[in-house]
Structure 1
Amino acid sequence: MAKEEKQSPLAKLGLNTPADLALHLPIRYEDETELFDIGSAISKHSQFSVQTQGRVIDSQVTFRPKRQLIIKIADENDELILRFIHFYPSQQKQMAVGLFLRVRGEIRHGFYGPEMVHPAVKVSMPEAPLPNQLTPVYSTVAGVSQTLIRKAIEKGLSDSRTNSFLREIIPMQWFNQPKYDVLKGLPSLEIAIRTLHQPLASEHKESLLDRTHLAWRRVQFEELLAQQVSLQQAHVERRKRLAPILQSPKNGYVQKLLNKLPFELTAAQAKVWQEIAHDLSQPFPMNRLLQGDVGSGKTAVAALAAACALDNGYQVALMAPTEILAEQHFQKLVPWFEEMNLSIGWLTGSLKAKAKREVQEQIMSGALQLVIGTHALIQEGVSFAKLGLAIIDEQHRFGVLQRLQLYSKNGDQAIYAHQLMMTATPIPRTLAMTYYADLEVSVIDQLPPGRSPIITRLIKNTRRLEVVDGIRRELLKGRQAYWVCPIIEESEALQLKTAIETYEQLTTELPQYQVGLIHGKLPAVEKSRIMQSFKSGEIQMLVSTTVIEVGVDVPNATLMVIEHAERFGYAQIHQLRGRVGRGSEQSVCLLMYAEPLSMAAKERLQNLRESNDGFIIAERDLELRGPGELLGAKQSGETMLRFVDLIRDAWLVEIAKDFAHDLLQNDPKIAHDHVQRWLGVRAELLKS
């Protein structure tokens, strides 16, 4: 067997072509263009990285309080200590007594006087000229030095292929249109890239560092434009596909369901249903995202969409990320559709092989009209006879690349299913515009009548006994409560141990009430049994890990305690507290925290206390975690926008969106070339 070729250092960073090198832009810059004598550096620049120089007058290794290398340099008037806690013998030689050093770092006042800790050091001469450019610093991996990257990029920028890659694709007159006034003054892409790699000392340093410099703006706009063009192309391509035209007759399943529902649709639900009904009546596949805060009634709207497909003789698949959530949908939809003579099936990974095979056969034959389950619905071996609609709940949990290609065959023609995606985690507007631009978006922005906003309170964990007394008073009224145990990232076993301990404590503290325990390690059947007991009121107090985060609907539950709330993120707490407040009684969520709190945790808990608005929470979550985690894209490994920050650059997204539309309308060849430069084969992924 032939030996594998050893990967080159640059290949480890994915830098295989001059284009790769050109787009490997600096993460920051070091300023070696200014030089101060030691005295000036000490007096004027004590809080900033500064460059100075001097001759080594002392070099020694000390062992108190621990082993470290102490170098003393001096110029004509002053002295400065360089301290190295980690060092190699070669560094001692590099900084031997008598050598002249140019050093850069932050100066602070240490035990022996002014010092730099681990400064950047160069052996130099007193009169050595200063560079006239800022020094770029690049992201790297172990074994690939900054010097190697800088030399490779410098060589790459002089390669003729780089000039070809960086050529202007979009004629300048596009940027000079009055409607794109903010783009005037942007440099060409080539000048922008060269400026970012080799910025002159005269460039505005702060704007280079915070990525608001015009050179950064050009790169950011180019990247956003490629993404927007690609998504809009995907939108057009989707409209070329065939889908069943679904319209509901007057006395069909849709009307029967509306008569059966135990409530009137809210104005927001009715509006959203009209949007979905319009999409279903089109000859191309719907691709709609239904957003609604926890408890806003998304399931009822999804059920109406399902009824419309069933009215037309098509099958419907409803997919949820967990068995608990899938079962909640099953238990809610079956009573709504009973007496309509429909066959409803259930398919999850935990079904025994024989039962799973039977369900798959019924799906394939068309005997099952409505199938509810987990991702087992899209695994190998599942083939629908006549799928008309796929409903995907909490779709972001399946990852951004798992938008489904669900279709059946009519002769040689592929007939694509309509898709309705639902989420109770509202997607911030900038995120929707940049990653869901090929989706239509509907929002249910009101709660059903009679629902009171959930009151959220912060309480220290030292007041645990008061919390238990509060639970006792609530249970005495015939209500039910949740106690959510903390996330323990280091160990699932530890988290389970904590949940079991909490369950045992509460069983002792609330002897007259039935306490239940549910967690991820329980078999699906056991989880289902416990949730059913809680729903029926046999269990009054439910101790849980985050498995109840989504989908659990118990209207009688009015109190939730989230222990160690400081360990949870925005979206998790917002989802968890949405498990209460689902009936007409006032509900409360207690965020129990332990001190000391970090500033970030304090701010997060305060924001959650002050707002129940899912969109505000989602914006905060975006600021904290970035788009990769919110979209499930970090797990999929898909590269996100490299140079755009959706908080800082939100204003640019709207412009790129309009520019992309105009470009596709007026010069599709330019649009195509632009996408190929930036995305290449990845453009196809966005069309899935």
Structure 2
Amino acid sequence: MPEAKPPTQQQKSAPQKALEKLGLRRDIDLALHLPLRYEDETRITPIAQAREGQVVQVEGIVSESHIELRGRRQLLVRLRDDSDELLLRFLNFYPSQQKSLAAGARVRVRGELRGGFWGREMVHPLCKLVQDDTPLATALTPVYPTSAALPQAYLRKAVVSALKRAPLDEILPPGSLPANLPTLREALDFLHHPSPKVSLATLEDHTHPAWQRLKAEELLAQQLSQLQSQRQRALLQAPPLRGQRAGLHEKLLAALPFQLTGAQQRVVEEIAQDLALGKPMHRLLQGDVGSGKTVVAALAAAVCMDAGWQCALMAPTEILAEQHFRKLIHWLEPLGITVAWLTGSIKGKARQKMLDAAASGQAQLVVGTHAVIEDRVEFARLGLAIIDEQHRFGVAQRLALRNKLAQQALEPHLLMMSATPIPRTLAMTYFADLEVSTIDELPPGRTPIVTKVFADAKRENVIEKIRDEVTKGAQVYWVCPLIEESETLDLQNATETHLHLAEALPGHAVGLLHGRMPPAEKAAVMAQFTANQMSVLVATTVIEVGVDVPNASLMVIEHAERFGLSQLHQLRGRVGRGAVASVCVLMYTAPLSDTGKARLKAMAETNDGFEIARRDLEIRGPGEFMGARQSGAQLLRFADLTEDIKLLEHARRLAPRLLDQHPEAASRHVARWLGSKAEFLKA
């Protein structure tokens, strides 16, 4: 008999397609798809003992069933047991449902008990026809994360089947994981069908030993993947980049109109030592807003170009890329360096000229947005790639850059920059294969920013404060939020605010900046504001990073509760860049959610980027913090970096030993847990 072919995408049922959409392709994927919560169908509660507001399971005989047309058409079923009776109310129902719930039927029902005008009732309960001797469930019933096209019943059956088939053998050598934890099969069998005797609290807060087993395995897979990536990269070759004595690096240092801070000097030296080696640098440069990362990047680029290689600098937005471009041209062109500019908005002959300059090697430095990693862009000798605000790029974009870099014989060095400091637990997990340099010192002359929180009702008081400031010659940012569901609404918000402020501040230039403006228009507005020809700039979040106007001393952020904590900190960093005392006003609209309150409280209490990052991680979790949501890949499903630090430290200690002594077991473990997601961790 010929072997049966697997079904094509067209032949698959809607639930099968829905399973694939949720990433549930392998038996192990289904086995690791854990319940959100559980329902207790192991006991029957007498109707008389059930309390209002409680979700209970009752069983009885239907004494009456009829359709009522008063108000809206509904099916009313009266159910009686030996102790009492209650009403079952169905607002949507099928003829088959009405037929099955006829008088005399024995029914097992689960739902929330409510008080009603006609006595106690359940609305749309789950119903099951039973016999006198139909057994009860012996374990709690799982309720899984699912989608509209994937019924719970179908998913439960799929999980039960997958659990039987999934290869859940013990891959790791004995003694690898913390003591007294169940086997993987025992842990998963238990979590999918826990005993009704178990404490629901230990299941919900994930402290049960079965949960601890999964967390320990997941963190170990993640650490192994990072360590494998680090070791694979150590085998690659990169150009050793050493600057000439009295070369470009020294000339740039001498030409700068300021002295480097001690922290900047330290990280410049760390980067130079990496670049001089014949293996690819993979370093993260982190520093708070305004700590001077751009000049460090310029000095790294100078070493690269001095050694005869090209450098690329990529930023997430045109405004930030242009800010870098202007600074780098100002510093490097007088020293004889050709800098090319490449973004999506550059078209035609101008674009081709830039592409030719990069491909021929004439452009020693190429600055731009993600346009730098497009297929058509080629470099003659790319020695160093610098990515600014790397977490703002989607994971797929970061992988595209890594793949592009890997296409040449020698792997370029990679320097990533972030003004969102990485909390220690994140550095230990997602950045475990990176060297980290930290600029932990601000340049002299920076004044601390005072942060004030006001309700939206105080708007006119804030405008009065702006009037005072601009009269004294200060400059002001007013930021309106980006509402993802409606860019039109966002634009209207910024436009209306711009008109209102222009009316309220006669005699003062009020500008408007938003993402839909043509690049030339954006550049003209920013040039006016930078040159102090404009008092107030109303903007959307396009000014979040990189914009540097030392005279701006007041920042107003409207609907501050809609922004993430690191984004608020970035925006606040646009002021306080000179010697003038600066203020950041956070305006919110009531009522505030708990998350909104936590964010505004953190902003008012600290200017420390590392503390802000720590609290942001607590509030949002690692996926959002790192921009992982852009990839659609959950980075950690079970472990919690704020709660599971001991398990993480255990995994960090175990990973190198496992990779050295049991490499095959280590590879199988990573494949089981991460599959293709291992690539995302390397981005």
Q: TM-score with structure 2 length normalisation?
A: 0.92
Q: Which residue of 1 aligns with 2:35?
A: 26
| Distance in 1 between residues matched to 2:71 and 2:646, nearest whole Å | 52
Q: Which residue of 1 aligns with 2:663?
A: 668
Q: Which residue of 2 aligns with 1:492?
A: 487
Work out whether residues 242 and 283 of structure 1, in 8 Å CA contact, stay in contact via their aligned partners in 2.
yes
| Distance in 1 between residues matched to 2:73 and 2:619, nearest whole Å | 39
- Is residue 532 of structure 1 aligned with residue 552 of structure 2? no
- Is residue 168 of structure 1 aligned with residue 170 of structure 2? yes
Farther-moved stretch of structure 1 (668-677 vs 115-124) = 115-124
Q: Deviations over 1:586-637 (max 9, x none)?
A: 1111111222333332332222222222233333433444333333333333
- Is residue 542 of structure 1 aligned with residue 514 of structure 2? no
| Distance in 2 between residues matched to 1:676 and 1:488, nearest whole Å | 39
Distance 1:658 1:111, change over 3 A: farther
| Distance in 1 between residues matched to 2:342 and 2:408, nearest whole Å | 28
Distance 1:151 1:327, change over 3 A: closer
Q: Which residue of 1 aligns with 2:647?
A: 652
Q: Which residue of 2 aligns with 1:482?
A: 477
- Is residue 153 of structure 1 aligned with residue 167 of structure 2? no
Q: Deviations over 1:115-173 (max 9, x none)?
A: 333332222345543222111222333343333333333333334xx3xx111111223
Q: Which residue of 2 aligns with 1:39?
A: 48
Give the 5 Å matches for 1:322-337: 322-337=317-332
- Is residue 576 of structure 1 aligned with residue 578 of structure 2? no
Q: Which residue of 2 aligns with 1:179?
A: none
Distance 1:68 1:580, change over 3 A: farther
Residue number among 275, 292, 295 corresponding to 2:290 in the alignment:
295
CA drift of 1:66 comes to 4.8
Residue number among 108, 115, 124 corresponding to 1:118 in the alignment:
124
Report the 3-state secondary structure (helix = DSSP H, G, I; strand = E; otherwise coil) of the residue aligned with 2:97: helix
Work out whether residues 39 and 140 of structure 2, in 8 Å CA contact, stay in contact via their aligned partners in 1.
yes
Distance 1:451 1:48, change over 3 A: farther
| Distance in 1 between residues matched to 2:69 and 2:581, nearest whole Å | 65
Amino acid paired to 1:361: D
Distance 1:150 1:459, change over 3 A: closer
Give the 5 Å matches for 1:545-624: 545-624=540-619
Work out whether residues 101 and 121 of structure 1, in 8 Å CA contact, stay in contact via their aligned partners in 2.
yes
| Distance in 2 between residues matched to 1:169 and 1:530, nearest whole Å | 61
Report the 3-state secondary structure (helix = DSSP H, G, I; strand = E; otherwise coil) of the residue aligned with 2:335: coil
Amino acid paired to 2:637: R
| Distance in 2 between residues matched to 1:125 and 1:207, nearest whole Å | 35
CA drift of 1:496 comes to 1.5
Farther-moved stretch of structure 1 (219-228 vs 537-546) = 219-228
Q: Percent identity?
A: 54
Amino acid paired to 2:44: L
Give the 5 Å matches for 1:374-389: 374-389=369-384
Farther-moved stretch of structure 1 (490-499 vs 91-100) = 91-100
Report the 3-state secondary structure (helix = DSSP H, G, I; strand = E; otherwise coil) of the residue aligned with 2:585: strand
Q: Deviations over 1:7-51 (max 9, x none)?
A: 133353034544343333323221112222122222xxx454322
Q: Which residue of 1 aligns with 2:4?
A: none
Residue number among 628, 632, 639 corresponding to 1:637 in the alignment:
632
Work out whether residues 252 and 335 of structure 2, in 8 Å CA contact, stay in contact via their aligned partners in 1.
no
- Is residue 405 of structure 1 aligned with residue 411 of structure 2? no
Work out whether residues 408 and 414 of structure 1, in 8 Å CA contact, stay in contact via their aligned partners in 2.
no
Q: Which residue of 2 aligns with 1:131?
A: 137
Work out whether residues 104 and 120 of structure 1, in 8 Å CA contact, stay in contact via their aligned partners in 2.
yes
Farther-moved stretch of structure 1 (11-20 vs 354-363) = 11-20
Amino acid paired to 1:527: K
Give the 5 Å matches for 1:416-431: 416-431=411-426
Distance 1:614 1:110, change over 3 A: farther
Farther-moved stretch of structure 1 (210-219 vs 616-625) = 616-625
Residue number among 310, 314, 332 corresponding to 1:319 in the alignment:
314
Distance 1:390 1:563, change over 3 A: same
| Distance in 2 between residues matched to 1:325 and 1:73, nearest whole Å | 67
Report the 3-state secondary structure (helix = DSSP H, G, I; strand = E; otherwise coil) of the residue aligned with 2:410: strand
- Is residue 464 of structure 1 aligned with residue 464 of structure 2? no
Q: Which residue of 1 aligns with 2:150?
A: 144
CA drift of 1:687 comes to 4.9
Report the 3-state secondary structure (helix = DSSP H, G, I; strand = E; otherwise coil) of the residue aligned with 1:342: coil
Aligned-pair RMSD on alpha carbons? 2.5
CA drift of 1:408 comes to 7.6
| Distance in 1 between residues matched to 2:79 and 2:350, nearest whole Å | 79
Q: Which residue of 1 aligns with 2:336?
A: 341
CA drift of 1:680 comes to 3.6
Work out whether residues 28 and 672 of structure 2, in 8 Å CA contact, stay in contact via their aligned partners in 1.
no
Distance 1:143 1:547, change over 3 A: closer
Farther-moved stretch of structure 1 (417-426 vs 131-140) = 131-140
Distance 1:267 1:105, change over 3 A: farther
Residue number among 245, 249, 256 corresponding to 1:261 in the alignment:
256
Distance 1:253 1:619, change over 3 A: same
Farther-moved stretch of structure 1 (134-143 vs 275-284) = 134-143
Distance 1:439 1:142, change over 3 A: same
Aligned length, in residue pairs: 671
Farther-moved stretch of structure 1 (61-70 vs 584-593) = 61-70
Consecutive unaligned residues of structure 1, counting only runs of 5 or more, are 176-182
Farther-moved stretch of structure 1 (431-440 vs 572-581) = 431-440
| Distance in 2 between residues matched to 1:619 and 1:96, nearest whole Å | 59
| Distance in 2 between residues matched to 1:634 and 1:684, nearest whole Å | 15
Work out whether residues 406 and 416 of structure 1, in 8 Å CA contact, stay in contact via their aligned partners in 2.
no
Distance 1:483 1:171, change over 3 A: same
Q: Which residue of 1 aligns with 2:110?
A: 104
CA drift of 1:536 comes to 0.5
Q: TM-score with structure 1 length normalisation?
A: 0.91
Q: Which residue of 2 aligns with 1:180?
A: none
